[in-house]
């Protein structure tokens, strides 16, 4: 059965000459057809299914081929690898359920579906939230009550014994950690979430495996094929050369980026913990093997994959080995494979790096969405300084993204806070970045006089003085201190800070993502030190166990938790009903006070003015500006329902925010 005819052509229908890449791609694909055909036959695939996947393959092939040639074309056995990659793709596609294929088709017809204002996310650790996947399924009504339509389950695959870096040291991508359930539980959950209109997000931890992954075990037993999956060195000569230009990521775990392995009598590249072995993507077999794992994960029913630690996946001597061009090409190649084999799947980049580098991962052909670490850091920065000038400068220059891409905005996640703003942005508004980072670290660890925050240092580097910050949203925003001092006025301010930050995250543009627990104002949990597998990593302070009895407080209007929960629920509801909050379009408004942040969000003819007061003192915004920006004289504050007239200047209470819609 001849499945398709590739038209040999030197000009396309617009008369444009076929590029050299396209021609080579076409010839290569022609040579791969016999393998594809024997696959269709052996699997007894229907003709219309073949047509559908071949159509996508042909459309995305020139791009994928070009990327693979760039990365691996010099290898003597390139064509072999090319064929393996294509066959891995079609095998992955073949195992995709019809229900997922249906949603693939819908999404192809609705590009940019993920920029909708209706998407609001939550993240959680299954074991800490609900013990296991079965019980998590029972909590779908809870997610709906809060208004979530996107759920990120922190890594839940089989992990090494002992410390597993919060699930990020995976020993098998195809089995679920038995403590939380089975693969079938995961698939059932995915189906139930789909029915409930909630997107499922899982991690793709592709920079490294655990030291007990099958590949690593094979390497340890001297299997040459698998030794080439990792970076192994007999002595310190090469590692020392690399380390001249590397940054230390987990300096309190171990100095440098390499770990001595006694069994092999070799050094292993380990960017993060010593038991997380970096994969060697110079080896095309690693790309192919991880592609198979990626499609396997996608086929469990995942809508969005969080690409973990993207910055580190390519190494080049003499560089920082972060954000290299080939790292982007690898991700683009995974993206092209997804377009062919699982086109409903989209990517989220986890690049917690300089803002100029963060955006380089974002495009329809690479990661359609990305964490927004700069907005996160600068919201906290504004809260500490009561001054939004650095945040404004960053928003003005860095918020806009290419069409069909979007941010994932967050306040806290399972990781630490690093102060990843641009030093020149800081200089432009009169801030010395070095001193400012020291100030922020002092402020958020509560060392700075008058600070309301209760953060904990993470990865303090004694040589450079660098540090990052751990802590829950509520503890960093002052609630822990206020409760400890039992001061009603401080509690009030802390709650307002929590709501202000959430209102900013929900209105700025992009998918809002909360770390569950935030909806109750959960405080730091210092008990993690009792668990030896967690004690060395302060990020556990902000990963507490869900306390289900909090739900009982929902009816109690006087309770802090009840108030935070209900307020967030309301904000989420409004966000989802306000078309102005879709997409990223944002126009900053000048105000007279640096304590204020004001912007107009607009989409599809719908406009909302957001004004936020980042200080504990009342502020005023002049009514002329509101009239001009909002094109009206009367507004409704969507949050309180109050009518605001522009007959006189508008006052904002401490930490108040307004979401103004013209009436
Ligand atoms: C990512 C994860 C983090 C983990 C690291 C190594 O940054 O968010 O929790 O420690 O990757 O996998
Ligand atoms: C990873 C880690 C995070 C760290 C970052 C540094 O994302 O998870 O903790 O801040 O790398 O680049």
pLDDT tens for residues 224-239?
999 999 999 999 999 9
Look at residue 9 and tell me whether its pLDDT is greater than 60.
no
By the 8 A CB rule, do 507 and 601 touch? yes
pLDDT at 6: 57
144 C-alpha to ligand 2 centroid (Å):
31
pLDDT at 357 (0 to 100): 97
| Residue 544 near ligand 1, beta carbon < 6 Å | no
Instruction: Please provide the size of the chain in residues.
Output: 663
Average pLDDT over residues 460-482: 94
**Measuring from atom 7 of ligand 1, which residue has the nearest CA?**
309
Q: How many whole angstroms separate alpha carbon 253 and alpha carbon 360?
A: 29
Distance 470 CA to ligand 2 centre (A): 12
**Range 394-405 average pLDDT:** 97
φ, ψ of residue 608 in degrees (nearest 5): -135, 135
The pLDDT value given to residue 551:
87
In this prediction, residues 263-291 reach a mean pLDDT of 98
Q: Is 320 in the pocket of ligand 2 (CB under 6 A)?
A: no
The residues pairing with 189 across neighbouring beta strands, listed in sequence order, are none
Q: Whose CA is nearest to atom 5 of ligand 2?
A: 352
Q: What is the pLDDT of residues 565-605, one digit of tens each?
A: 999 999 999 999 999 999 999 999 999 999 999 999 999 88
User: How many Å apart are CA 199 and CA 148, to the nearest integer?
Assistant: 9
Residue 465's pLDDT is 84
- Give 458's contacts (C-beta < 8 A, 6+ positions apart): 416, 467, 468, 469, 470, 537, 538, 539
Cβ of 415 closer than 6 Å to ligand 1, yes or no, is yes
- Using the structure block, give the residue that is written with the tokens 């409760």: 483
Tell me, using a 6 A CB cutoff, whether residue 168 lines ligand 1.
yes
The confidence score (pLDDT) of residue 1 equals 43
Residue 606: CB atoms within 10 Å: 15
- In this model, does residue 148 exceed pLDDT 80? yes
Catalytic residues: 308, 350
Structure tokens at 83: 């064929």
- Assign residue 212 a region (left: φ > 0; alpha: ψ between -120 and 50; beta: otherwise): alpha
What stretches of 149-213 show up as alpha helix (H) in DSSP? Answer: 183-195
What DSSP string describes 44-112?
T--HHHHHHHHHHHHHHHHHHHHHHHHHHTTSTTHHHHHHHHHHHHHHHHHTS-HHHHHHHHHHHTSTT
pLDDT confidence band for 2 (50 / 70 / 90): very low
Q: Tell me what pLDDT residue 393 has.
A: 98
Q: How far apart are CA 617 and CA 567, in angstroms?
A: 22
Q: What local confidence, expressed as pLDDT, does residue 276 receive? A: 98
- Confidence band, pLDDT 50/70/90 cuts, at residue 252: confident
CA geometry: angle 556, 562, 566, nearest 5 deg: 115
Relative orientation angle of helices 284-298 and 78-94, to the nearest 10 degrees: 10
Using the predicted structure, report yes or no on whether residue 5 has a pLDDT greater than 60.
no
- Cβ of 303 below 6 Å from ligand 1: no
The pLDDT value given to residue 657: 98
Kindly state the tokens that stand for 494: 């802390």
- What domains are defined for the chain? 20-109 (1.10.1740), 214-278 (3.90.400.10)
CA 213 to chain centre: 24
Q: Comparing 14 with 151, which gets the higher pLDDT?
A: 151
Q: How confident is the model at residue 552 (pLDDT cuts 50, 70, 90)?
A: confident
For residue 126, is pLDDT > 50?
yes
CA of 644 to the centre of ligand 1 (A): 45
Task: Summarize the confidence of residues 141-161 as an average pLDDT.
Answer: 98
Query: Could you report the per-residue pLDDT of 61-120, keeping only the tens digit for each?
Result: 999 999 999 999 999 999 999 999 999 999 999 999 999 999 999 999 999 999 999 999
Instruction: State in Å: Cα 75 to ligand 1 middle.
Output: 31
CA distances (Å), 51 to each of 12, 46, 56, 342, 497, in order?
Answer: 20, 9, 9, 15, 55
First CA to last CA distance, the chain: 65
pTM for the full predicted model: 0.95
- Ligand 1: residue of 153, 166, 415 to mutate (most ligand atoms within 8 A of CB) is 415
Q: Is the shortest distance between the CB of 468 and ligand 2 below 6 Å?
A: yes
């Amino acid at each position: 059965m001849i499945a398709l005819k590739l038209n040999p052509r030197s000009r396309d229908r617009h008369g444009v000459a076929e590029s050299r890449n396209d021609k080579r791609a076409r010839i290569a694909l022609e040579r791969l057809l016999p393998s594809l055909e024997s696959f269709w036959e052996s699997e007894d695939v229907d003709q219309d299914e073949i047509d559908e996947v071949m159509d996508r393959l042909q459309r995305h092939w020139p791009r994928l081929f070009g990327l693979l040639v760039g990365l691996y074309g010099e290898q003597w056995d390139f064509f072999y690898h090319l064929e393996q990659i294509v066959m891995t793709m079609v095998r992955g596609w073949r195992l995709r359920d019809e229900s997922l294929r249906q949603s693939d088709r819908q999404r192809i017809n609705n590009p940019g579906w993920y920029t909708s204002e209706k998407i609001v996310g939550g993240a959680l650790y299954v074991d800490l939230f609900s013990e296991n996947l079965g019980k998590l399924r029972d909590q779908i009504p809870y997610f709906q009550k809060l208004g979530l339509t996107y759920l990120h389950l922190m890594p839940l695959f089989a992990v090494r014994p002992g410390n597993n870096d919060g699930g990020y040291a995976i020993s098998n991508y195809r089995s679920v950690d038995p403590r939380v359930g089975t693969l079938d539980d995961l698939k059932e959950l995915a189906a139930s979430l789909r029915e409930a209109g909630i997107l499922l997000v899982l991690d793709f931890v592709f920079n490294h495996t655990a030291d007990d992954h099958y590949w690593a075990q094979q390497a340890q037993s001297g299997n040459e094929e698998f030794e080439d999956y990792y970076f192994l060195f007999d002595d310190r000569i090469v590692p020392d050369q690399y380390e001249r230009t590397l940054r230390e990521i987990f300096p309190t775990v171990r100095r440098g980026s390499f770990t001595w392995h006694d069994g092999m009598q070799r050094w292993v590249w380990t960017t993060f913990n010593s038991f997380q072995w970096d994969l060697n993507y110079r080896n095309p077999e690693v790309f192919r093997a991880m592609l198979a794992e990626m499609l396997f994960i996608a086929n469990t029913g995942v809508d969005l994959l969080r690409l973990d630690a993207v910055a580190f996946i390519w190494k080049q001597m003499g560089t920082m080995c972060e954000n290299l061009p080939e790292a982007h090409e690898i991700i683009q190649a995974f993206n092209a494979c997804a377009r062919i084999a699982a086109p409903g799947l989209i990517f989220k980049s986890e690049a917690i790096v300089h803002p100029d580098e963060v955006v380089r991962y974002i495009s329809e052909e690479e990661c359609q969405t990305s964490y927004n670490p700069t907005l996160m850091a600068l919201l906290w920065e504004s809260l500490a300084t009561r001054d939004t000038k650095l945040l404004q400068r960053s928003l003005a220059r860095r918020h806009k993204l290419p069409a069909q891409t979007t941010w994932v905005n967050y306040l806290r996640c399972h990781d630490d806070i690093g102060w990843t703003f641009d030093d020149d942005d800081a200089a432009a508004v009169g801030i010395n970045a070095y001193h400012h980072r020291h100030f922020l670290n002092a402020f958020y660890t509560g060392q700075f006089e008058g600070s309301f925050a209760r953060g904990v240092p993470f990865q303090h580097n004694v040589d450079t003085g660098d540090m990052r910050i751990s802590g829950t949203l509520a503890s960093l925003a002052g609630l822990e201190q206020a409760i400890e001092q039992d001061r009603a006025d401080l509690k009030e301010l802390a709650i307002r800070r929590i709501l202000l930050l959430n209102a900013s995250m929900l209105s700025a543009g992009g998918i809002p993502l909360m770390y569950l627990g935030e909806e109750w104002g959960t405080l730091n949990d210092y008990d993690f030190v009792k668990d030896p597998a967690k004690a060395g990593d302060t990020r556990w302070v902000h990963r507490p166990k869900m306390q289900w009895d909090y739900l009982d407080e929902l009816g109690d209007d006087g309770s802090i938790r009840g108030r935070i929960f209900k307020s967030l629920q309301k904000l989420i509801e409004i966000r989802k009903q306000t078309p102005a909050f879709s997409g990223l379009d944002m126009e900053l408004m000048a105000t007279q006070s640096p304590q204020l942040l004001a912007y107009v969000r607009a989409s599809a003819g719908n406009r909302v003015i957001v004004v936020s007061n980042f200080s504990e003192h009342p502020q005023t915004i002049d009514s002329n500006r509101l009239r001009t920006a909002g094109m009206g004289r009367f507004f409704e504050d969507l949050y309180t329902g109050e009518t605001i007239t522009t007959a006189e200047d508008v006052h904002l209470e401490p930490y108040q925010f307004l979401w103004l819609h013209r009436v």
